[in-house]
């Protein structure tokens, strides 16, 4: 079955009036190869209506050979003759290339989405080559000599602060015994340039002077904003600092807008900020470490009434997406910069900083970190303000004290999901969290053994909920009794509400109806949409889900 509309990875070309020219086909194939790959369909109108491919392009072997000979480096594509509604369609499947691809006539093209969400083919300029190759981990821009830089561009006082950070992280590091020249070489703050030794891009980013950063790495800036309603309370101009100063500065700017909430219960006494300090630190380090420095734009921090948004230029690198952040192998767009930050203790040594972002957000009863607004050109992380759940916090603190170790991020995910959704199977947990089943099963078994979670049913019908012990501790045994007998009632309640509400429901309606958080209500409606019960309509304030 053919896709219903065009996207970054789907292109329709009509041959109703005339055959597509050779150049038009090759241009579109090259653009796909230089973006995310995809499929070009010949014989389909822009609106998805199938009108059929011309006779000339039904020779699939000849078409594949033609594309191979008209691309540099030569591309191997998969061409298939399909039949849709009794009409022939040719599908040309293109892989995302690990190299920059051009037509044999010298055109280098890429795809992008216009403001209305439809794709277009545009030139890829030489300045964009670095971004493309670093996204695919084929080129480490941070390890290259910084353009126009000299050794005097490295700030001696910033180097001293870097040494101190390394001493704090690892007092036994042999780097601390090196003189400045050997220290810079060992960390590759200095590399061999065309005219001799000069700072690397990573070297300037970590200990370079403000003047040198503005000249040689003009993208290395940050912006910090605070909004109360529609009124700006803080709105800095883009500012430049070496990262040994930038990270503490961002922390200081954030501090007044991240108040603590005291939780006391028995022996448990903790202060919970709106945004977990460790999660914020890791998110800030990730934004600077993994951003695309070949693309102009600042790392942006925005605090508003809903939460904290951290955005950085450059989308996820090849192989990473919001769906596999917790399970994919750690990778960096800027390996040399990441190595320096790990050595200095700024970045998580294992590369699993994202685990700390999740753990810090969930341990106090907060929502899952939200990367859903990320695009091919920008990573956007949203952390919702924590409304401390005292019972949940106390449960976590007591269990960690009993174990003598922090709970794993997988256990926190399971507990957080059961806190929000009350009762779930492992399959449902996987759907909500996008975490592998084996991770969830291991966490669930450990929590059942600890007495925090109990199983209901058996076999494929087996699901889980927080135990009676947890509900009793929170004086909510009636709620436990209700959950013990709860099966598909939520879906039925939402459907019944929609039937009595003109055939539709909003996320806000579901939040009020079922006493759910925003993210839980949103996920429930998305699941029902995926099951064909509801259809999403509109956007923004007019967004709603209509019964199918």
Among the four given CATH numbers 1.25.40.10, 3.30.950.30, 3.90.1480.20, 3.40.50.720, the one describing domain 10-124? 3.30.950.30
pLDDT at 399 over 90: no
pLDDT at 470 over 70: no
Residue 81 has a pLDDT of 92
What span, in angstroms and rounded, lies between the C-alpha atoms of 239 and 330? 29
What 3-state DSSP class applies to 95?
coil
- Among 467, 472, 524, smallest CA distance to 497 is for 524
Instruction: Determine contact, residues 173/166, Cβ cutoff 8 Å.
Output: yes
Strand order in the sheet with 299-303: 231-235, 222-228, 299-303, 307-313, 378-384
Instruction: Determine contact, residues 79/43, Cβ cutoff 8 Å.
Output: no
Q: Average model confidence (pLDDT) for the chain?
A: 87
pLDDT at 318 over 80: no
DSSP label at residue 116: T
Contacts of 455 (CB under 8 A, 6+ apart): 448, 462, 463, 464
Q: Which residue has the higher pLDDT, 449 or 213?
A: 213
Respond yes or no on whether the N-terminal peptide bond of residue 512 is cis (omega within 30° of 0).
Answer: no
Please list, residue by residue across 79-100, b when 16 or more beta carbons sit within 10 angstroms of its beta carbon and e when fewer do: bebbeeeeebbbbbebebbeeb
Residue 139 has a pLDDT of 77
Residues 71-80: contacts with CB within 8 Å, 24+ apart? 71/26, 71/29, 71/30, 71/33, 71/101, 71/102, 71/103, 71/104, 72/101, 72/102, 72/103, 72/104, 73/97, 73/99, 73/101, 75/29, 75/30, 75/33, 75/101, 77/29
Q: Which fold has domain 489-547?
A: Arc Repressor Mutant, subunit A (1.10.10)
Residue with tokens 């499947």: 93
pLDDT mean over 400-428: 88
Instruction: Determine contact, residues 90/41, Cβ cutoff 8 Å.
Output: yes
- Among 315, 331, 244, smallest CA distance to 285 is for 244
Q: Which fold has domain 390-484?
A: Arc Repressor Mutant, subunit A (1.10.10)
pLDDT at 471 over 70: no
Q: Which of 64-73, 169-178, 421-430, 488-497 has the lowest mean pLDDT?
A: 488-497
pLDDT digits (tens, 9 = 90+) for 151-186: 999 999 999 999 999 999 887 789 999 999 999 999
CA distance to 444, 447, 457, 525, per residue, from 415 (Å): 9, 9, 19, 21
DSSP label at residue 506: -
pLDDT digits (tens, 9 = 90+) for 252-283: 999 999 988 777 666 667 778 889 899 999 99
- Among 231, 357, 235, smallest CA distance to 290 is for 357
pLDDT at 484 over 80: no
In 85-164, DSSP assigns E strands to 87-94, 102-103, 109-113, 119-123
Residue 489 has a pLDDT of 64
pLDDT at 479 over 50: no
Q: Which residue has the higher pLDDT, 101 or 351?
A: 101
pLDDT at 482 over 60: no
pLDDT mean over 188-211: 94
Hey, what are 385's tokens? 């303000």
Contacts of 342 (CB under 8 A, 6+ apart): 348, 349, 351
What span, in angstroms and rounded, lies between the C-alpha atoms of 176 and 174? 5
pLDDT digits (tens, 9 = 90+) for 339-353: 999 999 888 766 677
Instruction: Determine contact, residues 159/207, Cβ cutoff 8 Å.
Output: yes
489-547 and 390-484 share a CATH fold: yes
- Among 141, 271, 263, 139, smallest CA distance to 202 is for 141
Instruction: Determine contact, residues 493/524, Cβ cutoff 8 Å.
Output: no
Contacts of 325 (CB under 8 A, 6+ apart): 354, 371
Instruction: Determine contact, residues 518/525, Cβ cutoff 8 Å.
Output: no
Distance from chain centroid for Cα 483: 33
Instruction: Determine contact, residues 353/285, Cβ cutoff 8 Å.
Output: yes
Residue 363 has a pLDDT of 85
CA distance to 224, 262, 309, 382, per residue, from 237 (Å): 8, 34, 17, 22
The phi, psi pair for 413, rounded to 5°, reads -65, -45
Contacts of 487 (CB under 8 A, 6+ apart): none
Instruction: Determine contact, residues 89/53, Cβ cutoff 8 Å.
Output: yes
pLDDT at 223 over 70: yes
CATH number of this structure's domain 126-257+273-383: 3.30.565.60
Hey, what are 114's tokens? 């216009």
pLDDT at 99 over 80: yes
pLDDT at 468 over 80: no
Say if strands 260-265 and 190-193 run parallel, antiparallel, or are unpaired: unpaired
Considering the chain, what percentage of its residues have pLDDT values greater than 70? 93
Residue 365 has a pLDDT of 78
Residue 486 has a pLDDT of 46
CA distance to 104, 151, 165, 185, 205, per residue, from 180 (Å): 50, 11, 15, 9, 17
pLDDT mean over 300-329: 87
pLDDT mean over 376-387: 88
Residue 478 has a pLDDT of 46
Q: Where are the domains of the chain?
A: 10-124, 126-257+273-383, 390-484, 489-547
pLDDT mean over 441-455: 88
């Amino acid at each position: 079955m053919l896709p219903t509309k065009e996207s970054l990875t789907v292109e329709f070309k009509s041959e109703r009036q005339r055959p597509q020219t050779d150049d038009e086909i090759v241009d579109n194939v090259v653009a796909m190869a230089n973006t995310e790959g995809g499929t070009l369909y010949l014989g389909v109108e822009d609106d998805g209506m199938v009108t059929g491919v011309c006779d000339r392009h039904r020779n699939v072997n000849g078409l594949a050979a033609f594309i191979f000979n008209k691309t540099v480096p030569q591309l191997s594509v998969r061409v298939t003759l399909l039949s849709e509604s009794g009409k022939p369609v040719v599908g040309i499947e293109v892989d995302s290339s690990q190299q920059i691809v051009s037509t044999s006539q010298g055109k280098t093209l890429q795809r992008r989405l216009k403001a209305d969400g439809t794709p277009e083919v545009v030139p890829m300029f030489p300045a964009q080559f670095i971004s493309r190759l670093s996204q695919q981990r084929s080129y480490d821009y941070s390890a290259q000599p910084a353009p126009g830089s000299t050794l005097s561009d490295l700030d001696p006082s910033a180097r001293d602060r870097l040494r101190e950070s390394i001493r704090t992280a690892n007092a036994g590091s042999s780097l601390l015994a090196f003189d400045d020249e050997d220290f810079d070489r060992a960390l590759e703050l200095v590399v061999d340039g065309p005219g001799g030794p000069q700072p690397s891009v990573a070297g300037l980013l970590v200990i370079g002077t403000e003047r040198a950063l503005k000249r040689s790495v003009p993208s290395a800036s940050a912006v910090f904003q605070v909004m109360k309603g529609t009124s700006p309370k803080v709105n800095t101009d883009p500012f430049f600092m070496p990262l040994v100063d930038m990270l503490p500065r961002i922390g200081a700017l954030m501090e007044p807008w991240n108040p603590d909430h005291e939780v006391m219960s028995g022996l448990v006494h903790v202060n919970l900020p709106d945004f977990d300090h460790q999660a914020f630190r890791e998110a800030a380090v990730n934004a600077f470490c993994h951003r695309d420095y070949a693309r102009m734009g600042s790392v942006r921090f925005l605090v508003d009434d809903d939460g904290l948004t951290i955005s950085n230029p450059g989308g996820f690198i090849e192989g990473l997406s919001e769906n596999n952040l917790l399970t994919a192998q750690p990778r960096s767009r800027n390996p040399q910069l990441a190595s320096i930050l790990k050595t200095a203790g700024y970045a998580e040594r294992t590369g699993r900083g994202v685990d700390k972002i999740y753990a810090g957000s969930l341990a106090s009863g907060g929502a899952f970190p939200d990367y859903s607004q990320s695009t091919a050109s920008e990573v956007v992380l949203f952390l919702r303000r924590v409304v401390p759940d005292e019972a949940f916090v106390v449960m976590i603190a007591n269990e960690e004290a009993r174990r003598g170790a922090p709970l794993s991020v997988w256990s926190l995910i399971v507990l957080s999901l059961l806190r929000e959704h009350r009762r779930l199977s492992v399959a449902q947990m996987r759907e909500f969290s996008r975490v592998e089943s084996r991770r969830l099963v291991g966490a669930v078994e450990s929590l059942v053994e600890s007495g925090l979670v109990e199983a209901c049913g058996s076999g494929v019908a087996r699901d889980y909920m927080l135990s009676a012990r947890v509900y009793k501790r929170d004086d909510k045994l009636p709620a436990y009794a209700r959950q013990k007998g709860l099966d598909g009632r939520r879906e039925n309640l939402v459907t019944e509400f929609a039937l009595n509400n003109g055939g539709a429901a909003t996320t806000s309606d579901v939040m009020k109806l079922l006493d759910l958080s925003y993210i839980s209500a949103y996920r429930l409606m998305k699941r029902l949409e995926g099951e064909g019960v509801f259809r999403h309509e509109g956007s923004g304030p007019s967004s709603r889900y209509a019964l199918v």
